[in-house]
Structure 1
């Protein structure tokens, strides 16, 4: 990867088990949780009695020289050198979406390969140390226990709090403080120890350190597995649920042993997948676009938790990272779905199920869709706007999102059964859009950080696409008459929209009552994705030209004329409206440039300044799955046949 990533993914399993390098070099600074709090992994190589540090801060031995770092969709690979040896250190989390049990398995790999750098054989000992702060919200929060659970052919240490208060709190800037952290290997010469340290106030911390001796002339590979068992993953309408990987009764020790035994074959699959993804993305855009989606891939998945409900249905629960901590947020689901429609649409259904379930309760009395289903990891009903307070709801936004997402799943799978299970909700929400969507009143859209806005032109497009989506579903369900009626409603709304939204230069407004204003029209992309052609040909020709010539800063296309900030997902959606690949690349290249140059060393922020590339807010959010929308378009997965 040519881009200097703002943060490099190391362990990416879920919102709690998430470790990153936020520096240019892996041994320049401590590794961190995505929130920025320390989650220290230390890696050292002992050569001829001399200890070199390749991972972690500078107080862990002589710093090895890092010569490169490369990132693909599923692995991050570092290379180091010293006078005696070279090291290749590869971090892999096998998030292959065609195998949900594998994807949800909370095991991530660190593979270290040593080779001589001077023609001589060297005895090398590779050590990985994991800090007990990975199982605490803050280090020293609770007393921690260590246990050696090694057995024949399996070396493993385990640490966790003495007080296991599972699912004890919910919120945004939080780390897990229940469950157990594991460090394991199946190397025949591996050994594990407890590194205990007493804090000045008397609290004892326990780190796991696992050592593997290798010989640069023979077997020079050391494989480590880092794992986390959260015991219970999600509270789902007051029912604690296991993570999906446990659905057949598997234990974490089973999972670790299996993961270690299948590393070679899994890594090969991961490399093939990553290579194919890169090639397809480069064909859709260019190599910079391919780097963007490769970097986004693990982040978008690991901002979720995969579970199964009590009926065995897949749940894919997102967390609004550094936004407000909401779980299963509809307007976070909506921008993320391109990635999941491509690789496993069942996961999109897993995002929507909590909303349908909550909307069916007596608590939700509105005739429009909810915003969310809880605060992660407690998925017990909407918390945004204090649940059902009317002030901060997003009626048109969420109705349109639910209808579009459901239709996208149905078209992708060529199966309307999921929609039919939730038909009453969809019909109610479509009617809401018919009555309220042509010229929305003063309400929020997904870009709620910009505040309420009446007569929102892009939100009106959302309503139109939502109605058209229900027309698609009716057609798939065999009701051609109803489908035609709804499609005619959508067409009529577009006729009005084209007049009401028009600027004199052929572009379209931010709001119907604001002449010469501007906003991205990202919601219109579904007209092309579905192949509906409801908007007349060349409708957005002047609009996309203005994106390129008038509304872009050095680091990207502005969201609208109210400020110079932008959203990464909407940049790529808006660029996908362009008539040609050259214009698409011209817009998206600036997004790549922003991540390459930003001073905000965090997992990809989706809300940043087009002037400075600095993060305004949000980081490590699942919406980066939206960067895959051009690939989704080119694959024609959502196009109605």
Structure 2
């Protein structure tokens, strides 16, 4: 049987992690329990990652607020790949950036316009201009909006033809109708507290032309709280996703400090354990934001097999929204191979409210260094191939660990 250890840590601003010996004690696994969610990396509201399905590979791993914070696990057995953890999130290419990516302006009015206001040919020369997002929150909105209704228009010229599925990217409060070149693409009563991505019908998306196009939106405030930000994104297809097999999960068990899984990956049995040593009698250990991931593999047929353990951690774990710029790097220290990532902005204590994730401090993925260990930073959709790279700046990067 071969055993490997990985260490996950989220350290606020700076710090170091060390391995601690857990005291002996009697713990009972809770088997055959269908929990509403399974804890993977759980320390505090900032660093809290869960599997929301009984099968670890049936959904993306998520922050407790419900936002995807992806860790994907692959076991390569004799050249065949088995996904045992997470799901590959959709990768989106920006067609028209929202305000979390780039500053932009809407033309807008707060008085009911003429009936063809959503058409590309409409003359909005008499409208005001303001920078998005619009809202009543003085600390977050770039253009204050406090009236009942808002009509906005945003013209754009695409740099290339969209060949894949197109999606609206929007956060709205409250009732909203959205038009693309005069055709309704989204209607919603109520509000969203995060960006959502409604699909745009292909017959409408295909009408985007090389010249002037317009995204037009009406939003009505009906229940307090006001907000509007919108853009367009297109899905980037992953050509490798169909080549990866799904590992068969045999069991899941819980203890007070551990979640344990067992998988069948072809001719190999994989035991996976997440340990967060939250022990009340040791306050120093309790406050240390470190989770240990242990993987054990064993042949099921008694034969020798070539096995590689791959873990790809999204830098989304260190951001509030996935469009924030991050810097990631690899280095070695004290016998450990370490990946580190954090936002370039590091906005310490700048945000408040609900549905937020920490975007200051740094995420670390570490393992014992050695010839069988390879770590890299990448921005590729296909992280399963060997990659090189020690430092990168970008968005939605991957921290890749390979152990053979």
TM-score if structure 1 supplies the norm length? 0.32
More helix by share: 1
Bigger radius of gyration, 1 or 2? 1
Greater relative CO (CA pairs within 8 A, separation 6+)? 2
More strand by share: 2
